[in-house]
Amino acid sequence: MAPAMLSNLQQQPADALLALIKLFDADPRADKIDLGVGVYRTGQGDTPVFGAIKAAERKLVAEQDSKAYLGPEGDMGFVTALMPYIFGKASPDMGGRIEGMQTPGGTGSLRLALAMVKRAGYSRVIVGKPSWPNHNQICADLGLAVSEFNHAGADGKPDMDAIRAAVAGAAEGDCILLHGCCHNPTGIDYSNAQWDEIAGLIAEAKLLPIIDLAYQGLGLGMEEDAYGLRRVLVAVPEALIAYSCDKNFGLYRDRVGALYAMVSDPTELGRIMSNGHNLARASWSQPPDHGAAAVRLVLEDETLTAQWLDELDQMRDRMRQVRAILAAAGKVGGVDLAPVGGQNGLFSIIPFTPDQVQEMRSRHGIYFAGSGRINVAGLTTANIQNFIDATAEVTGVKVTG
């Protein structure tokens, strides 16, 4: 009998966020609040399908005449249609220096980007902490070393001294992974002036930047949220950009993303992208078509594009309103909610202790990550005061004796 090799596999810890979903679902309280799952919600607590996407899907169903394979590069019409929004309308391919391919969501694009740098001979990735947990997890799986620096300071602003030191200490064969906007999990973004400095630091150190742009349009606006990415690309000869449409088109379960490479010499693009195609072929072979095709149809139709941008504006405005209410509450109990107002995107970290996180769940039915990361879109006019009151109670100084 053959040896039972599968028994050598070790039990892996459950994903903390997925475990949190199960805990929330099992809670019978009618007034429970879910601030854990990273999806947009309306003021009524729903995660709707964009009207523009619905219209594009109807068109797709009516007009699509084949389900044949597209190839490992995916829907290149989708890839090209996104480029003016990411890189700017004036020269979306930077004079022939940028090319892309479709991937299964932002995670797929990040996996592909990191696999490409590994194949190219890079050995270490500089990452700010805290960061999206999958960043370090993918690096570990690929055998890439990770060097961390503090992303945020105690004042709730970017820790520029930390990134300066991290870049100064970088070595040949290093690359740096940065959030383009709407930092996950802190919501703390670099200012334009800070991006200007960071671009110069990266260029001087000759690091390869990998920009994770997963939330464009959810921070300050489509153009505003692209500032950091574009500033870095102007400064460096090469870069990789991992892009997600899961959030700004509401296509979470359809897994819609793209990977773009920028090179110094346009004649190198074919060779470099052939490695992306080769790695994709060995991973998922070909990306799913439906969501990317819907995005392409939206961006090819001026009316649907306008509708999508309007829906995106409404999402962003609602989250800014929630942030403003939290910020106006100021100091509640032992925490200050004021910094939340100056942060961007879906997430912020409230400095709860682990015991306080548990108390918010057990006593008040308010669920969020153990790090204190909350999804601000989970707060509505109906429940936001409950969250503020519970925060004040749980974090307030308790007198004993």
At residue 401 the predicted structure's pLDDT band, cuts being 50, 70 and 90, is very low
Q: What is the four-CA torsion angle of 12, 17, 22, 27, rounded to 10 degrees?
A: 140
At residue 5 the predicted structure's pLDDT band, cuts being 50, 70 and 90, is confident
| pLDDT in the model for residue 400 | 44
Helix (H, G, I), strand (E, B) or coil at 59: helix
Alpha helix positions (H), 182-289: 192-205, 222-225, 227-235, 269-283
Report which DSSP code applies to 152.
B
User: 39-63, pLDDT tens digit by residue?
Assistant: 999 988 889 999 999 999 999 999 9
User: Is the bond preceding 28 in cis, omega lying within 30 degrees of 0?
Assistant: no
User: 262-307, pLDDT tens digit by residue?
Assistant: 999 999 999 999 999 999 999 999 999 999 999 999 999 999 999 9
CB 79 within 8 A of CB 102: yes
Q: What percent of the chain has pLDDT over 70?
A: 98
Please list the residue range(s) of the chain that carry CATH number 3.90.1150.10.
Answer: 15-49+313-395
Please list the residue range(s) of the chain that carry CATH number 3.40.640.10.
Answer: 69-300
Single-letter amino acid code for the residue at 27? D
Helix (H, G, I), strand (E, B) or coil at 398: coil
C-alpha 178/C-alpha 181 separation (Å) is: 9
| Residues in Cβ contact with 352 at an 8 Å cutoff, skipping those fewer than 6 apart | 335, 360, 372, 394, 395
At residue 2 the predicted structure's pLDDT band, cuts being 50, 70 and 90, is low
- Rounded mean pLDDT, 150-166: 93
224 - beta bridge partners?
none
CATH superfamily name and code, 15-49+313-395: Aspartate Aminotransferase, domain 1 (3.90.1150.10)
The domain made up of 69-300 has a fold known as Aspartate Aminotransferase; domain 2 (3.40.640)
CB 36 within 8 A of CB 369: yes
CA angle 95, 96, 101 (to 5 degrees): 135
User: 91-109, pLDDT tens digit by residue?
Assistant: 899 899 999 999 999 999 9
Which residues have a catalytic role annotated? 132, 212, 247
129 - beta bridge partners?
150
Helix (H, G, I), strand (E, B) or coil at 367: strand
Quote the tokens at residue 302.
């001026």
198 class by beta-carbon count within 10 Å (0-12 exposed, 13-18 middle, 19+ buried)? buried
User: 314-363, pLDDT tens digit by residue?
Assistant: 999 999 999 999 999 999 999 999 999 999 999 999 999 999 999 999 99
Single-letter amino acid code for the residue at 339? P
